[in-house]
């Protein structure tokens, strides 16, 4: 079933098909737009009104640069740990292997065709033997946990516009409520009992295609996403890691603002970090230029105190530049660890998870 579905997707995306040509056009146009946005961001950063920020950046203390690089490394590790943890109720993979695959995927986010996502499917399917639909469920469960963990902090940042006890209470209270709701829903549909509940919903529809689909092996693998979110400790840990990563990313924006001689409040930093995350997920053709342009547009829209939209471009580019250094270096290390070239040649031996 999975092989047939994969074959259908390949056929539809083939250059000779209408769907394939349309997707190719979206990727090419999207990548050109991304490059255009990146060029625009650089041109704005070089304007006369930003020369003082560029001078401050060139003379930034070593501890600021080290802090930016260190926080970026921490963000990569938190992201990889969250990926590993979400899959744990269904399949145990080696922690360092998942960190390496996450690093490789991170280094590919600048390229079109969602190569970062594809790399995860290729590595974990061909190397670890994880079914394609289970990987899809894994990605979906991770995305749900990420959005759920970001929502309370975003709401608190918009409401409180700074760090106080109400910000903390709103964030923690919102996380607790969302955690309970997600756990209840996931546990209701998880496992064989939950699958039977799905069947009781679909069987009365008397649609043979739907009934065959929900009883297929592919759907069982996809259904595993509920099991991932139904494990209390896994869900709590994943949400905690993602929320921590959001504040680490916010710290990177605040530190970058300090490096250019500007001040960025917590609420602006949290919103900027969230914009970076969401654009990374939504961008169809690489994030280079998209995130910087999107975050700058957000700064202009919200009139962030302490920095103009033109000045914010310098901050965003500083965050992106240090991130690119870390992602490319960690991606290279991940490639050395996993040797993905062997996967492409079909010679990688399966390793026993530890």
* Contacts with 184 (C-beta within 8 Å, 6 or more apart), sequence order: none
Q: Is the pTM of this model over 0.85?
A: no
Rounded-to-integer distance, Cα 270 and Cα 171, Å: 12
* 339: region left, alpha or beta (phi > 0 left; psi from -120 to 50 alpha): left
DSSP 57-116: HHT--HHHHHHHHHHHHHHHHHHHHHHHHHHTTT----HHHHHHHHHHHHHTTTSSTTHH
pLDDT of residue 120: 92
pLDDT of residue 77: 96
Question: Is the Cβ–Cβ distance between 154 and 271 less than 8 Å?
Answer: yes
Per-residue model confidence as pLDDT tens for the chain (354 residues): 333 333 333 333 344 445 567 777 777 888 888 888 889 889 988 999 889 999 999 888 999 999 999 999 999 999 999 999 999 998 999 999 999 999 999 999 888 888 899 999 999 998 899 988 889 999 999 988 988 888 888 888 878 777 778 888 988 999 999 999 999 988 888 877 777 777 777 777 777 776 677 777 777 777 788 889 999 999 999 999 999 999 999 999 999 999 998 888 888 888 888 888 888 887 777 788 888 888 888 777 766 666 777 788 899 999 999 999 999 999 999 999 988 667 666 544 444 444
């Amino acid at each position: 079933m999975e092989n047939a579905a994969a074959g259908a997707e390949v056929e539809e995306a083939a250059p000779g098909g209408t769907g394939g040509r349309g997707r190719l056009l979206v990727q090419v146009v999207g990548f050109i737009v991304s490059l255009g946005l990146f060029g625009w961001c650089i041109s704005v950063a070089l304007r006369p009104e930003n020369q003082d920020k560029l001078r401050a950046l060139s003379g930034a203390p070593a501890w600021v640069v080290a802090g930016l690089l260190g926080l970026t490394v921490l963000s990569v590790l938190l992201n990889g740990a969250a990926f590993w943890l979400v899959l744990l109720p269904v399949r145990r993979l080696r922690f360092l292997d998942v960190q390496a695959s996450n690093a490789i995927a991170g280094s590919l986010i600048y390229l079109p065709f969602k190569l970062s996502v594809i790399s995860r499917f290729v590595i974990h399917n061909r190397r670890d033997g994880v079914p394609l639909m289970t990987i899809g469920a894994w990605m979906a469960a991770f995305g749900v946990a990420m959005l759920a963990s970001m929502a309370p902090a975003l709401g608190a940042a918009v409401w409180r516009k700074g760090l106080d006890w109400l910000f903390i209470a709103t964030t923690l209270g919102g996380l607790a409520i969302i955690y309970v709701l997600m756990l209840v829903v996931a546990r209701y549909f998880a496992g064989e009992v939950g699958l039977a509940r799905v069947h009781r919903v679909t069987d009365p529809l008397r649609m043979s295609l739907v009934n065959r689909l929900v009883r297929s092996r592919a759907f069982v693998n996809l259904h595993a996403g509920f099991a991932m979110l139904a494990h209390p400790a896994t869900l709590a840990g994943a949400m905690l890691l993602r929320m921590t990563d959001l504040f680490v990313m916010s710290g990177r924006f605040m530190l970058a603002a300090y490096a250019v001689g500007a001040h960025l409040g917590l609420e602006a930093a949290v919103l900027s970090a969230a914009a970076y995350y969401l654009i990374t997920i939504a961008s169809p053709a690489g994030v280079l230029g998209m995130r910087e342009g999107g975050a700058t547009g957000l700064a202009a829209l919200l009139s962030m105190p302490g920095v103009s939209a033109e000045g914010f471009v310098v901050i965003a580019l500083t965050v992106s530049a240090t991130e690119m250094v870390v992602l490319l270096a960690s991606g290279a290390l991940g490639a050395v660890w996993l040797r993905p070239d062997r996967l492409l040649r079909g010679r990688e031996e399966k390793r026993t998870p530890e």
